[in-house]
Structure 1
Amino acid sequence: MRDIETAYAEVLAELFSRADFEVRRPRLPEAFRLEPIRCLLERLGDPHRRYAVVHIAGTKGKGSTAAMVEAILRAAGYRTGLYTSPHLHTMRERIRIDGELIPPATVVHLLERLRPEIAADPALTVFDILTAMGFLAFAEAGVEIAVVEVGLGGRLDSTNVVSPAVCLITALSMDHVEILGPTLTHIAFEKAGIIKPGIPVGTAPQAEEAMAVLRRVAAERGAPLLTLDGWRYGPWEISPAGQWGEIRPPEGSGWSVRLPLLGRHQWENAALAVLAALQLRAQGWSLPDAAISEGLARVRWPGRFEVLREEPPVVLDGAHNDASATRLAETLMEVFPGRRWGLVFGVSADKDATAILRPLRPLVGEIWLTRSRHPRAADPAALVAAAVALGLRARVRATVAEAFEEALASGGPVLVAGSLFVVAEARETWAARGGMPMPEVDPLPLRVGGR
């Protein structure tokens, strides 16, 4: 009989042998279709209809917000599911039950359960299958409420088959333009696709171009559109160890909160998570004030302004577009003022390296250009021109581990950014040095993204 480790490796090989849109990306949103996953879930008995769902779309912050909502629900005593993407080290991070990664044996069981249903449908993508696995895992585990993060876009994303209790849309900015469209209006339209008739949808503050789309779609579908207008949220104190501050809705006393995630933008995500909790409370879910404070205080979301060492500082952040890089730069200046950083940098081939580097340039002394093991990673030699044009002295290194070790040896502050895949490999290198417990890493080098 095969051992579980071998069986799990075979499952991964089988999954990723299928067409993967993170490796071979289509040019138009219409290349995505919901019909295959709808039919698959129907054959499985519609497991996604056996529990309540909070559905979250957005460009930045949707993963952090999902983690916060799930932490609040778990602190209130509910059995929770959390479905997110992409992952850092192991595919099992995408499917969590009560905060724990599903074990390899469960992954093997799920694919054995799914295999007869997916064999006859070549239209199913890797992300379709992973989404179905997550929904089935939640149903079989008796999850009461699941927090589901959109993989890419919203309207045609595999997750958009759920019937949510609450929808959330985090901050929108330009990303995946080759798929979602060339303007913020196009992107907002795709994200607004998760809005359901009559279901409340909460939104972070948006540019007017995007907000106009959300207002129109919500009005067309009779969905109450809830904003953070009139809310007070933000920090009193920020240190490398975390943030302390308040979240106060227009009505009520609000909460004093310790937030482990760094960056002022995380208060916007936290306020949106609280908005979702209040909507669920209005629907009859028992979510005491203490559960909201406790959940936010306990949330973890690695790879997002993650401080590995305070002195000299080592920071990892998966910033991969200009908006997220701007927030990263602002947070670096606030948490570690006056520092000059050595930057370990790699991006996916479809990203605008110059746009990401530009906000970071005033803080960076030298740069190590590298690539992750992901098949879509850009050749670091192709990034040299972007770095040099910004006045950076660039070094090219073949692997993240080599670049990160060399940056650490320089003795100064080190920042790793540009891609979550690069961040993941830096975390693994740091763990190998004894700086943290070694994360569980899948036996295959291939990492897939959100869709």
Structure 2
Amino acid sequence: MNYNESLEKLLSLTDSERVSGRGQHTRRYDLTRMRVLLDELGNPHLNTPTVHITGTKGKGSTAALIASVLSSQGYKPGLFTSPHLHTFRERINFDGEPITADEFAALIEDIWPVLTSINHDGSHGFITTFELLTAMAFLHFERKKAGFQIVEVGLGGSLDSTNVVQPQVCVFTSISLDHTAILGDTEEKIARDKSGIIKDGCVVVTSPQQPQVMNVIAQACQDHGTAFVQSSEECTCTLSSADLYGQNFDIVAPWGEFSFRTPLLGAHQLENATTALVTLQVLNELGFTVTSDSFARGFRSVQWPGRLEVLSEDPLLIIDGAHNPHSIGKLKEALHDYFQFRRVVYVLGFSSDKNISAMIQELPYDNAEVVVTRSRHPRSASVETLASEFSRLGVSVKQLDTVNEAVQYAMDLAQPDDLIAVTGSLFVVAEAREFLLNIPPELYPSLDAGMPIR
């Protein structure tokens, strides 16, 4: 089986990341079939020390920071994240490198007979695309003899397919409203679902949260008898300087004072770095050695593209995968605090299942040009829909049907002291990166029009 053939098999399964109804079977939220699958594979997820990470925003960045530090320490960590920007292989990362195409195909070939048997039985529902990817990650990390596995929750917590691990540490990054149709329509309901990852015997670390969210997490910790650590109570973090390609910051903690640099921009990334640092210190206290030199090297060398990333200086162009009102608000703050410009040219595209109206109201348009577009993803909102939303605010927009056209138009329009901000969806950001950096997209011919699914 080659890589393209393995992708065909992967995408033949039910996939909640695609348009509903495209898969073979109706999705059923149940961990039983995941446990059955992993048991048939020898339970590879139980053989590696684990950090399990949930949250609405920042969980990917925090996971990447933790993995980078552990890699600097020599642990050779596995990192499982979603979605991807350019290729499915990004989701399964070992010691800083994505899984190879051959390894990816070999895993699907090895797992497929077991998966087929479970799906043929059907008594526990049918294995989904994400569940197969999760099993592949666990098996890959075991085969590579990973010293740690850093596992990002796909959606929610309680019934996410990653919630079969027995973690040393559970991490909660910032929780806000997102995926409300599945997780609940209040922050408390969402926090309650995400708190389902807490296990007896682990330590829980949380980023700053709204009081009602913090209460839910604290109660779940009390129910499980687990230690509960709030990063903001452990450390203070102060920005010292920043440029287009990173920021320097100082952290004061009970176990020392540190000066770090990270290429990740934004005040929210300082929050993520603080949470990562506290998590790594917890691992130290659990007997896993992580030195301050490894902290510094890992923070400095972390790679997490598509998040407040500068792709051009002339004109100044940044991309950011903000895709809910909270993260759009953080982007607005970062543009003001980290960049100097006369006018902003927005290139905006959103997924149709998001709160588009709330997101566009987060951005200022007093001295701005707006270009609306759509990604190739089947969930993307049409440019007509976006134009209609902006018309309600009295904002006129330029409509362009492809991200490539929209980015090129913005670059032609921009003056030397303007800033171009491409945002609204990771799918839009991915296509902008592909266009500007000449990255070939990973296309899936089995889907309509060879549409990339990220």
Structure 2 CA distance for aligned equivalents of residues 116 and 442 of structure 1: 25
2:102 pairs with 1:105: yes
2:235 aligns with 231
Structure 2 CA distance for aligned equivalents of residues 230 and 18 of structure 1: 44
2:147 pairs with 1:144: yes
Gap change, CA 1:185 and 1:219, over 3 Å in 2: same
2:78 aligns with 81
Q: Tell whether the 8 Å contact from 1:20 to 1:125 is kept in structure 2 after alignment.
A: yes
2:390 pairs with 1:384: no
Question: Which of 37, 53, 75 is equivalent to 1:40?
Answer: 37
Tell me the secondary structure at the aligned position of residue 55 of structure 1.
strand
Amino acid across the alignment from 1:282: E
- C-alpha displacement at 1:411, in angstroms? 2.3
Question: Which of 417, 427, 431 is equivalent to 2:433?
Answer: 427
- C-alpha displacement at 1:280, in angstroms? 0.7
Structure 2 CA distance for aligned equivalents of residues 193 and 62 of structure 1: 16
1:96-154 CA-partner distances (Å, limit 9, x unpaired): 11100111000110001001011133311100000001111111111110111001101
Structure 1 CA distance for aligned equivalents of residues 66 and 440 of structure 2: 24
2:260 pairs with 1:261: no
**Unpaired runs of 5+ in structure 1?**
433-437
Q: Tell whether the 8 Å contact from 1:91 to 1:442 is kept in structure 2 after alignment.
A: no
Question: Which of 8, 29, 33 is equivalent to 1:13?
Answer: 8
- C-alpha displacement at 1:385, in angstroms? 1.6
2:205 aligns with 202
Amino acid across the alignment from 1:326: G
Tell me the secondary structure at the aligned position of residue 185 of structure 2.
coil
1:408-440 CA-partner distances (Å, limit 9, x unpaired): 1112421110100000000011013xxxxx367
- C-alpha displacement at 1:394, in angstroms? 1.1
2:330 pairs with 1:333: no
1:93 aligns with 90
Moved more, 229-238 or 128-137: 229-238
1:240-259 correspondence to structure 2 within 5 Å: 240-249=244-253, 251-259=254-262
1:435 aligns with none
Amino acid across the alignment from 1:339: R
The TM-score normalised by the length of structure 1 is 0.93
Tell me the secondary structure at the aligned position of residue 258 of structure 1.
strand
- C-alpha displacement at 1:363, in angstroms? 6.4
Structure 2 CA distance for aligned equivalents of residues 382 and 411 of structure 1: 25
Amino acid across the alignment from 1:86: P
Structure 2 CA distance for aligned equivalents of residues 137 and 183 of structure 1: 37
2:291 aligns with 288
2:121 pairs with 1:121: no
Tell me the secondary structure at the aligned position of residue 308 of structure 1.
strand
Amino acid across the alignment from 2:291: P
Structure 2 CA distance for aligned equivalents of residues 317 and 371 of structure 1: 15
Q: Tell whether the 8 Å contact from 2:434 to 2:441 is kept in structure 1 after alignment.
A: no
Q: Tell whether the 8 Å contact from 1:366 to 1:392 is kept in structure 2 after alignment.
A: no
**Unpaired runs of 5+ in structure 2?**
22-26, 120-125
- C-alpha displacement at 1:364, in angstroms? 5.8
Question: Which of 348, 352, 367 is equivalent to 1:349?
Answer: 352
Amino acid across the alignment from 1:17: S
Question: Which of 46, 69, 87 is equivalent to 1:49?
Answer: 46
The TM-score normalised by the length of structure 2 is 0.93
Structure 2 CA distance for aligned equivalents of residues 303 and 265 of structure 1: 15
Q: Tell whether the 8 Å contact from 1:34 to 1:157 is kept in structure 2 after alignment.
A: yes
- C-alpha displacement at 1:253, in angstroms? 2.0
Q: Tell whether the 8 Å contact from 1:431 to 1:439 is kept in structure 2 after alignment.
A: no
Structure 2 CA distance for aligned equivalents of residues 431 and 307 of structure 1: 12
Structure 2 CA distance for aligned equivalents of residues 170 and 392 of structure 1: 34
1:374-422 CA-partner distances (Å, limit 9, x unpaired): 1111112111121122232212211111111111111242111010000
Structure 2 CA distance for aligned equivalents of residues 385 and 231 of structure 1: 45
Tell me the secondary structure at the aligned position of residue 33 of structure 1.
coil
Gap change, CA 1:85 and 1:364, over 3 Å in 2: farther
Structure 2 CA distance for aligned equivalents of residues 339 and 356 of structure 1: 23
Moved more, 421-430 or 305-314: 305-314
Tell me the secondary structure at the aligned position of residue 315 of structure 1.
strand
Question: Which of 55, 61, 65 is equivalent to 2:62?
Answer: 65
The alignment-based identity, stated in percent, is: 41
- C-alpha displacement at 1:448, in angstroms? 4.2
- C-alpha displacement at 1:446, in angstroms? 4.2
- C-alpha displacement at 1:237, in angstroms? 0.9
Amino acid across the alignment from 1:247: I
2:396 pairs with 1:393: yes
Question: Which of 357, 369, 372 is equivalent to 1:369?
Answer: 372
Gap change, CA 1:324 and 1:339, over 3 Å in 2: farther
Structure 2 CA distance for aligned equivalents of residues 167 and 179 of structure 1: 22
Structure 2 CA distance for aligned equivalents of residues 307 and 439 of structure 1: 20
Tell me the secondary structure at the aligned position of residue 246 of structure 1.
strand
